[in-house]
Amino acid sequence: MSQTFTDFEVIVVNDGSTDGSLKVLETVHDARVRVFTKENGGVSSARNYGILKASYDLVAFIDGDDAWDESYLEQMAGLIARYPECSVFGSAWCRTTNGVKEYEDFGLEKDLAYKIDRYFKQAVKHTLLCTSSAIVRKSALVECGMFDTNLVMGEDMDLWIRLNLNYEFAFLNMVLAFYIQDAENRACNTGLKPLKQNILSRLADYAAAETKNRELKLYLDSFRVRQCIPYFFTKENKQEVLRIVSQVDYSALPFYWRIIYSRFAWGMKRRMYQLYKKTR
């Protein structure tokens, strides 16, 4: 409500919350705020519900435990006006832990706007999109299928891939959104999710696109080897992880990964990983 750009609507999706949020909202008297209550269906269900309720074609996301700079909408409106041919827009973002901001290096000159023609080449260096720093045209969201409600980990990355395979993307390298990692209800704070609910189990869906787009292949291979590690060192997931990483082209990756996913000395590497988790 403190945004310097004021021509917006706020859609609040109460996804079966039990924390008293509705009582707080009763104190907000502003015609721009629209509140919808639904049965709990998870973050993707809530976002999709909000997308369909949106009155306008530009949809910005902000999770309940994240924050925007007060100039976020104003700066992003400028980006959209500069690149009207684009359908996906993002700003730089930073992690915040216990009130301390951890700034990221996005590999671009700060405070400048860019049209990113080769998203996956840039994103392999650093993830450009964070849900709370993204604005997407509603028409593009609906056409590409919105968030996959079957995924509970990586559902945002899955959407960014589909969008960037089909639509143009503009990015403002100015930190305007804050990803608050110490929030108690973070999905990533609740332990390892079943592999079948993680985007890792669905990356084969992009096999055809990877054969045509080398940069997407490198982007996904880098993701595979990094994100599979905790699953690899749980016995029930080991064989499935080996199947997933069998698709990896290691030629463009550090040799380290080939060693990690080799079949020898699995028990020793597992103990080393457990020690790493305790000491990091």
pLDDT of the residue at 181: 84
Residue 274's pLDDT band, with cuts at 50, 70 and 90, is confident
Contact status, residue 185 vs residue 108, Cβ threshold 8 Å:
no
Most confident of 90-104, 135-149, 254-268: 135-149
Q: Provide the percentage of residues in the chain whose pLDDT is more than 90.
A: 81
Domain spanning 10-188: CATH 3.90.550.10 = yes
Least confident of 70-74, 149-153, 156-160, 183-187: 183-187
pTM recorded for the entire structure:
0.91
Amino acid at 204: A
Residue 243's pLDDT band, with cuts at 50, 70 and 90, is very high
Whether the pLDDT of residue 268 is over 80: the answer is yes
State pLDDT tens for residues 196-206.
999 999 999 99
Contacts with 233 (C-beta within 8 Å, 6 or more apart), sequence order: 269, 270, 273, 274
Residue 67's pLDDT band, with cuts at 50, 70 and 90, is very high
- Rounded to the nearest integer, the mean pLDDT of the chain is 93
Domain with CATH 3.90.550.10 in the chain: 10-188
pLDDT of the residue at 183: 53
State pLDDT tens for residues 193-235.
999 999 999 999 999 999 999 999 999 999 999 999 999 999 9
Whether the pLDDT of residue 192 is over 60: the answer is yes
Cβ contacts of 190-196, under 8 Å, gap ≥ 24: 192/230, 192/231, 192/234, 193/152, 193/153, 195/231, 195/237, 195/240, 195/241
Other residues' Cβ atoms within 10 Å of the Cβ of residue 84: 8
Whether the pLDDT of residue 184 is over 70: the answer is no
Contact status, residue 105 vs residue 83, Cβ threshold 8 Å:
no
The pairing of strands 10-15 and 33-38 is: parallel
pLDDT of the residue at 190: 56
pLDDT of the residue at 168: 98
* Residue listed under structure tokens 């976002």: 47
Question: Which uninterrupted H or E stretch holds 143?
Answer: helix 138-144
Whether the pLDDT of residue 65 is over 90: the answer is no
Whether the pLDDT of residue 60 is over 80: the answer is yes
Q: Stretch 94-120: mean pLDDT, rounded?
A: 93
Phi, psi (degrees; rounded to nearest 5) at 68: -115, 150
The secondary structure of 2-44 as a DSSP string is --S-----EEEEEES--SSHHHHHTT---TTEEEEEE----HH
Whether the pLDDT of residue 98 is over 90: the answer is no
